[in-house]
Each structure stands twice: as C-alpha cells, then as structure tokens.
C-alpha cells in the first residue's frame, strides 16, 4: 500500500518519485509479481514520509506501467489507477504499509450493466457540460488549463471517475467521489461539489473585475 496526500481515481495516471527505502523495496516486490500492482489510499492526517499517518479505508489499485532509475537511487514510477478497493484490515508496516483489501465495484452495477441507463446518460452529459464550464472559468482567471481529453469513448463508470480527476477539486472532495456508492450517486455528488467550486470561481472573477 502507498499512502499519499490525495486520492487516486481509477483511470488516472500517477507519477511518483520513490526514494524511501521501504517504498523502493515495495516497488521491487511489485515488479516481480504477476500483476505489478499496489494499493493507493489518501492520508487523512499526518505525513507521507516517515509513517505514523492516519489513512482512509477506501482507495484504488494502481498498476505500474513504467519505472526509471534517476539520480541518487531514486525511481521515477508511472502507474495508472485500475479499480476501487476497500481496506478490510491494516497489517503491520513491515517494512512498508500492507493491508488486506477487497474490490468494491459500484453498487448500481447489475451483471456489469448500469441501472437506469437513460437517466445515467443525462447525468453524464450534464457532468461534461458542467466540467467544461468550470474549466472555462478557471481559464478566465488566468490559469492555464490543458485541453480536456475526449471522454466519449469511456463507459459511464470510467467517465464518472474521469470528470472527478479533471475537475479543479480538493483532495477531500475527490475522496468523497471515490467513496460514492455507485455511478449514479457519483454523478449527483459531482454536480454538488462542482457547483460550490463554480460559485467560488465566479466570486473571484467578480472581485478581479471590480479591482480592474
């Protein structure tokens, strides 16, 4: 397990610089395993370095896709989020954090299909529109915004995680989205948290224009 300062969404890229001996050993063990995977959870309190942190119980399995050695024995690791997990029990950090976990698929998946597909399609379209509008506001504030990738080919579950990754949200809000029971609830919650972000951005824009 790799506790970090923010959550990792399934489908999102995770670039890491690994230098602590315990995590260097963890990466070595992952690379010789069949899956080359490790779990990522958010740290609620404490620090990424040195241990003694308080960790969330919901996280994401990440698969290593590239490892390069850089200066001073550090590793540049690129991983990608795979699927949501829930920690059943934390084990001793010996030598690195370890846990028993279970996979936690969305609860509104029935035999791989999503309930109420027509409603889901509308919520997905709304989420995309809301995301583009908020990213436009960020750009108006003078912050460079990368071009949004095309999400049309993604399934509904993947799209619900993708908008959460691309939106200008804090770690706590992203963790709430990761913990949503199902994809319908994730889109609902995304609309709620993004509305708060939009209100804040519009307030900042109004103040910046009045200052001019």
Q: How confident is the model at residue 118 (pLDDT cuts 50, 70, 90)?
A: confident
Provide the pLDDT for residue 203: 93
How many CA atoms lie within 13 Å of 11's alpha carbon, on the beta-carbon side? 16
Residue 16 clears pLDDT 80, i.e. is over it: yes
pLDDT digits (tens, 9 = 90+) for 184-204: 999 999 999 999 999 999 999
Tokens representing residue 121 in the block = 């399609």
Residue appearing with tokens 């691309």: 166
pLDDT digits (tens, 9 = 90+) for 27-45: 999 999 888 999 999 998 7
Provide the pLDDT for residue 108: 80
pLDDT digits (tens, 9 = 90+) for 120-179: 889 999 999 999 999 999 999 999 998 899 988 888 899 999 999 999 999 999 999 999
Provide the pLDDT for residue 94: 87
96-110, 112-126, 197-211: segment of lowest average pLDDT = 112-126
Task: Write the DSSP symbol of residue 146.
Answer: P
CB of 90 closer than 8 Å to CB of 99: yes
Provide the pLDDT for residue 113: 63
Provide the pLDDT for residue 84: 97
pLDDT digits (tens, 9 = 90+) for 30-85: 999 888 999 999 998 766 655 567 899 999 999 999 999 998 889 999 999 999 99
CATH 2.30.130.40 at 2-103, yes or no: yes
Provide the pLDDT for residue 50: 56
Rounded-to-integer distance, Cα 56 and Cα 53, Å: 10
Burial of residue 212 (number of CB atoms within 10 Å: 0-12, 13-18, 19+): exposed
Instruction: List the chain domain ranges.
Output: 2-103, 109-211
The alpha carbon torsion through 193, 158, 182, 61 (nearest 10 deg) reads -100
| Coil vs helix vs strand at 91 | coil
Residue 21 clears pLDDT 60, i.e. is over it: yes
């Amino acid at each position: 397990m790799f506790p970090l300062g923010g959550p990792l969404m399934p489908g999102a890229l995770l670039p890491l610089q690994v230098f602590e001996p315990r995590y260097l050993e963890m990466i070595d063990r992952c690379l010789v395993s069949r899956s080359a995977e490790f779990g990522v959870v958010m740290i609620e309190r404490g620090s990424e370095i040195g241990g003694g942190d308080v960790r969330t119980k919901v996280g994401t399995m990440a698969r290593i896709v590239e490892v390069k050695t850089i200066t001073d024995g550090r590793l540049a690791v690129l991983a990608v989020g795979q699927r949501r997990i829930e920690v059943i029990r934390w084990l001793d950090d010996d030598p690195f954090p370890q846990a028993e976990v279970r996979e936690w698929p969305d609860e509104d998946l029935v035999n791989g299909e999503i309930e109420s597909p027509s409603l889901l399609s509308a919520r997905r379209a709304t989420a995309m529109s809301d995301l583009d509008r908020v990213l436009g506001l960020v750009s108006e504030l003078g912050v460079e915004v990368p071009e949004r990738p095309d999400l049309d080919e993604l399934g509904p579950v993947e799209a619900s995680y993708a908008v959460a990754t691309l939106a200008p949200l804090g770690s706590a809000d992203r963790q709430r989205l990761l913990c949503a029971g199902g994809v319908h609830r994730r889109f609902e919650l995304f609309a709620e948290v993004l509305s708060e972000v939009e209100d804040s951005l519009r307030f900042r824009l109004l103040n910046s224009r009045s200052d001019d």
